[in-house]
Amino acid sequence: MKIWLDGKLVDESQAKVSVFDHGLLYGDGVFEGMRFYNGRIFRLEEHVRRLYDSARAIILNVPWTKEEVCRFTCETVAANGLNDGYIRLVITRGKGELGLNPYLCPKPSMFIIASSIQLYPEEHYTNGLSIITCATRRPAPAALMPQVKSLNYLNNIMAKVEAIQAGALEAVMLNEQGYVAECTGDNLFIMKNGSLITPLISDGALDGITRAVIIELAEKLGIPFIERSLTRYDIFTADECFLTGSAAEVIPVIELDRRSIGTGKPGPATGRFITAFRELAMSTGTPFH
């Protein structure tokens, strides 16, 4: 496997960062996860734009242009001879001194991985997921901005641990007011009375790229869309529920906290979104060959 690391494609065994890198020491950095299908990177420009927004929010000056990062990403995928897969693009604060001061890190570091990923077993895309609500809350926006895809994912990991220990693969995370924010790594949607509904970004949800795609597809499919605060009750009483994310794509949810959602099976609207998303992903994107 070839990894792009600070300007060079290197073998996986040579892709190393310093133990003094602040991304490793303090989770100080940003990242993006992207998919590529059929020789094209899906929504590459949108992902890179969000990467730069995250970097700006944490005062991380990226020494490469957006166009260069797009080109480096394409080169990395092509170098690995892959046609379909997953990309992880990471920018750390770089090597510095011990201590929190980010201004002691003179130069950021960037690496790009192109590989494969399977977030959930394939049968769950057909049969749906059973998920739980976890006790771990999403940090308040004033504490840690949810729009920033930072390397500090301990909050999400602790929520994922709760899900796994409860025998589930995913968990709903609430904010401190008790409203639904998102899941540990995915955005959440419900269908109710013919409308598509998803939590507000201000309630702690990531402004997901796949989330935006689903909203676009709702308009094309003629499905009304609403963005508002949601509670667990709204999910319990929904007609359908599904999750979205670059790694997860679109996956149905059939149960929350042992309460069946709708008929207890993936619903027809969810199926329409899965089909429309896959058609779009397989036919559009930035060619990398």
Which residues are known to be catalytic? Answer: 149
* CB atoms inside a 10 Å sphere around CB 137: 16
CA angle 206, 209, 211 (to 5 degrees): 70
Helix (H, G, I), strand (E, B) or coil at 275: helix
Q: How far apart are CA 41 and CA 281, in angstroms?
A: 9
Q: How far apart are CA 288 and CA 79, in angstroms?
A: 10
Task: List the one residue out of 215, 279, 214, 269 whose CA is nearest residue 241.
Answer: 269
Structure tokens at 164: 């796994």
Structure tokens at 49: 């734009």
Structure tokens at 83: 């046609």
- Residue 187 CA to chain centroid, in angstroms? 8
DSSP state, residue 2 = E
Q: How far apart are CA 115 and CA 273, in angstroms?
A: 26
Helix (H, G, I), strand (E, B) or coil at 57: helix
* CB atoms inside a 10 Å sphere around CB 32: 24
Q: What phi, psi does 167 have (nearest 5°)?
A: 80, 20
